[in-house]
Amino acid sequence: MKSPCRVIDIAPSTPPQRPARDQVLIGVAACPGEVPDGFDILLTEGPAAPRPWVVSSDARATARRIAAEAERHPAAAVALVQVLRMGPALAPPDRLLVESMAYSALQGGADFRAWLAAAPPRVPRPAAEPVRLRRDGGRLSVVLDRPWARNAFDAATRDALCEALEVAAADPSITGVDVRGAGPAFCAGGDLAEFGTSGDTAEAHRVRVSRSPAALLLSCASKVTVHLHGACVGAGIELAAFAGRVTAAPDTVIRLPEIGMGLIPGAGGTASLPARAGRERTAFLALSGTALTAPQALAWGLVDEITGIRRDVRRAHGVRTNTE
């Protein structure tokens, strides 16, 4: 069976590529130039390279690491780039459907089952009120409130966030929505204690589509500002990127870990991140496992502003500090 990844050195005369349906195609260039068509990831050592290029001090070594990750998780790696390639031809709600179908297919795969079998057992740590709401005039404050779990996204949090966003989307008197996370992190991604608990991947797809914070964020994005801090992993950045405005505290760290589980982003990331950073940089982030700092996320367009979060501001919005 052929490799799931192919690396090509790009020269000025390199023609457009027609990528194979079952391969990740990485282009490597010493200096960025005119972007040839067909590549899933573009790497260069040229400084301050514009989108869609990703700058690396050793582009070929980075390409080899990504290729090795694709070899370890071929089904997820190939599914990721297939979904991302389809994105430009689809309306945003349809991108969510395609992502969910691919995610459900991978949930039934051997790679994800192997990850589940090797993962240590985790005990659910639910919250009585996983999302807290506070209204002040025309603004609605939404706080993810499971700080002991770094606001890991469980089913109860998803449902409560959907309820809050349904109100925001339906009520014209709400002119602004601020979404924050309590404690040391905005959101550490999906709650691993719930991974693999649904034995019916078709039903999981139906639930994912019918109770979708991503779809609701699409419907009211212009009202929403998400305030990131600490770990913003998986769903923590996938959902945030739908907002009309995203701010980040200096300690913000962004990462997409799903490929290592045999999955792809499943909270809308293949729709939200390409809209801000481009599909090539989204593919790089997911396949490389790279963690982005706040300044890097700003440069890529994943956040719109880096801000400090003072203790008095956090308290005013009901957001606990690490020591409270």
Domain at 78-316: CATH architecture: Alpha-Beta Complex (3.90)
Residues 124-174 have pLDDT tens digits of 999 999 999 999 999 999 999 999 999 999 999 999 999 999 999 999 999
Distance between CA atoms of residues 214 and 209, nearest Å: 9
Q: Is the pLDDT of residue 196 over 70?
A: yes
Tell me, what's the pLDDT at 38?
87
Q: Is the pLDDT of residue 316 over 60?
A: no
Distance between CA atoms of residues 151 and 130, nearest Å: 8
The residues, ordered by sequence, that sit 6+ positions from 200 with a Cβ below 8 Å of its Cβ are: none
Q: Is the pLDDT of residue 83 over 70?
A: yes
The residues, ordered by sequence, that sit 6+ positions from 119 with a Cβ below 8 Å of its Cβ are: 192, 195
Q: Is the pLDDT of residue 244 over 90?
A: yes
Distance between CA atoms of residues 228 and 262, nearest Å: 27
- Determine which helix (DSSP H) or strand (DSSP E) holds 44, and give its type and residue range: strand 41-44
Tell me, what's the pLDDT at 319?
44
Beta bridge partners of 227: 247
Tell me, what's the pLDDT at 35?
77
Least confidently predicted of 32-36, 68-72, 191-195, 226-230: 32-36
Q: ∠ CA(282), CA(213), CA(222), 5° rounding?
A: 80
Hey, is 247 helix, strand or coil? strand
Tell me, what's the pLDDT at 31?
84
Residues 275-284 have pLDDT tens digits of 999 999 999 9
Closest alpha carbon to 256 in 240, 236, 241: 236
Tell me, what's the pLDDT at 323?
32
Please answer whether residues 292 and 257 qualify as being in contact, where contact means their C-beta atoms are separated by less than 8 angstroms.
Answer: no
Q: Which residue has the higher pLDDT, 87 or 324?
A: 87
Q: Mean pLDDT, to the nearest integer, of 4-27? A: 85
Which residue spans of the chain are classified as CATH 3.90.226.10? 78-316
Tell me, what's the pLDDT at 45?
92
Distance between CA atoms of residues 234 and 319, nearest Å: 21
The residues, ordered by sequence, that sit 6+ positions from 208 with a Cβ below 8 Å of its Cβ are: 100, 103, 104, 266
Q: Report DSSP state, residue 153.
A: B
What percentage of the chain exceeds 70 in pLDDT?
93
Tell me, what's the pLDDT at 310?
43
Tell me, what's the pLDDT at 312?
40
Tell me, what's the pLDDT at 318?
47
Q: Is the pLDDT of residue 321 over 70?
A: no
Beta strands (DSSP E) in 121-236 are 131-136, 139-144, 176-181, 224-228, 231-233
Q: Mean pLDDT, to the nearest integer, of 294-317? A: 76
Q: Mean pLDDT, to the nearest integer, of 302-307? A: 97
pLDDT class for 77, splitting at 50, 70, 90?
very high
Tell me, what's the pLDDT at 33?
76
pLDDT class for 73, splitting at 50, 70, 90?
very high
Tell me, what's the pLDDT at 291?
97
Q: Mean pLDDT, to the nearest integer, of 209-224? A: 96
Q: Which residue has the higher pLDDT, 165 or 48?
A: 165
Residues 231-242 have pLDDT tens digits of 999 999 999 999
